């Protein structure tokens, strides 16, 4: 029960961390304390698509979240131009704000619980957290590319 309350409080707090939803090109900052640029770009780079129908893009994102390898991502909340997605595994959680518009989709870090709390957050991109964070996110990125490529 305590873990659930922690997850819920992180989700509520994270909901207010970003006011506008708009994919923006990821610019890596060499902080010498974080993870490599290659790993960062593999998660946070724009995922372009060719649909001008935002409902279709939204549906593709939700579809990708449910089809990731292993534990699926869950819809936590959504708003105009974004979906708040949560991934839970053995008491740990990652919360992402997946932003989209008529040209692209982008993942931004919005919170974490236990091992996936961000130790170095810059411009809504997590530069330092648990080493498996990037592995678990690659599955989501692959599914997003696949579903967005088919619309």
Query: Sign of the CA dihedral 71, 28, 34, 14?
Result: negative
Residue 108 lies in a domain: yes
pLDDT at 96: 97
Domain count, the chain: 1
CB 141 within 8 A of CB 44: no
Question: Within 10 Å of residue 5's Cβ, how many Cβ atoms?
Answer: 9
> 1 lies in a domain?
no
pLDDT digits (tens, 9 = 90+) for 96-117: 999 999 999 999 999 999 999 9
H-state helical runs in the chain: 2-15, 37-44, 54-66, 133-149
Q: What is the pTM of this model?
A: 0.85
The pLDDT assigned to 133 comes to 93
The answer to whether residue 63 sits within a structural domain is yes
Q: Does residue 28 sit within a domain? A: no
Average pLDDT, the chain: 88
Q: What's the pLDDT at 134?
A: 87
- Residue 113 belongs to some domain of the structure: yes
118 domain-assigned: yes
Domain that holds residue 62: 45-148
3-state helix, strand, coil in the chain (%, to 5): 35, 30, 35
Tell whether 35 is covered by a domain.
no
CATH number at residue 89: 3.30.310
**Is 86 inside a domain boundary?**
yes
Mean pLDDT to the nearest integer, 140-144: 97
Q: Compute the half-sphere exposure of residue 3: CA atoms within 13 Å on the CB side of its CA.
A: 9
């Amino acid at each position: 029960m305590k873990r659930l309350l922690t997850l819920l409080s992180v989700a509520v707090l994270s909901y207010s961390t970003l006011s506008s939803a708009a994919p923006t090109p990821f610019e890596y900052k060499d902080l010498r304390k974080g993870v490599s640029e290659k790993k960062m770009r593999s998660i946070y780079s724009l995922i372009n698509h060719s649909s001008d129908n935002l409902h279709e893009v939204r549906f593709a994102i939700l579809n990708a979240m449910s089809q990731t390898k292993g534990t699926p991502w869950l819809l936590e909340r959504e708003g105009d131009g974004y979906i708040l997605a949560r991934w839970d595994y053995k008491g740990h959680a990652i919360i992402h704000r997946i932003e989209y518009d008529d040209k692209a989709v982008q993942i931004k870090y919005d919170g974490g619980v236990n091992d996936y709390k961000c130790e170095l957050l810059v411009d809504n991109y997590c530069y330092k957290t648990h080493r498996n964070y990037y592995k678990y996110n690659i599955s989501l990125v692959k599914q997003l590319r696949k579903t967005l490529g088919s619309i």
